[in-house]
Amino acid sequence: MKALLVVLALLLPIINAQVPHWGPCPEPATQPAFSLKKFMGRWFEIAKLPAQFERGRCIETNFTLKLDGTAHVVSSEILKGELKTIDGTAVVEDKRNPAKLGISFSYVLPYTPYWILSTDYENSALVYSCTDVLRLFHVDFAWILGRTRSLPAATIDHGKDIFTNNNIDVSRMILSRQQGCDKDL
């Protein structure tokens, strides 16, 4: 019991800005017949569950397929007037379900789930990530992505419905700030 309290005490500051939920992660349906190759390119963050690691504006991610079948990932945001970028790698973690990607932005940390729940590859995508903590609770992230800096309200509402129908609580989902992104910093 003491060890559990120590673990919780260490994790509490990390998850404080996130949205913890009791119980294990949900198992949402992912994009059937997902094509990593078609998913490559530039995606803009349209809406998200609040995340401690995303505090800026103009958040976008660019995926580039590598020869070994993984993807080079470059995420960027403007934070306090400065462009911040981070490089990572995406891998297909389950060949039987290629929409279940894992992403790591560090050589020492394990891959984090990055599941593509839905995409048409040309306009929008729904992404979900969840980390289970001792099956007692989980911390999750959800994103609505677009190939452009904005999407119609009906597309965003439909994306939220898909998350909700997969037992993902998006009641705290917020729109991302994508205005003034092309101006000089």
Task: Write out the H or E segment, with its range, that includes residue 184.
Answer: none
Residue 43, domain member (yes or no)? yes
Mean pLDDT lowest for which of 11-15, 36-40, 101-105? 11-15
Q: Can you give the CATH number for the domain in which 145 is found?
A: 2.40.128.20
Residue 125, domain member (yes or no)? yes
Residue (of 83, 43, 40) closest to 181 by Cα position: 83
Q: How far apart are CA 31 and CA 97, in angstroms?
A: 9
Residue 126, domain member (yes or no)? yes
Residue 21, domain member (yes or no)? no
Residue 1: pLDDT band (50, 70, 90) is very low
Residue 98, domain member (yes or no)? yes
Contact indicator for 158, 146 with CB cutoff of 8 Å: no
Residue 166: pLDDT band (50, 70, 90) is very high
Residue 8: pLDDT band (50, 70, 90) is very low
Residue 14, domain member (yes or no)? no
Q: How far apart are CA 81 and CA 70, in angstroms?
A: 32
Number of domains in the chain: 1
- What does DSSP assign to residue 169? -
Amino acid identity at 155: T
Q: Given this model, what pLDDT does residue 183 score?
A: 61
Averaged pLDDT score across all residues of the chain: 88
CB-neighbour burial class of residue 140 (10 A; exposed 0-12, middle 13-18, buried 19+): buried
Whether pLDDT at 89 is above 70: yes
Range of the domain at 168: 28-174
> What pTM was computed for the model?
0.87
Residue 65, domain member (yes or no)? yes
Residue 60, domain member (yes or no)? yes
Residue 16: pLDDT band (50, 70, 90) is very low
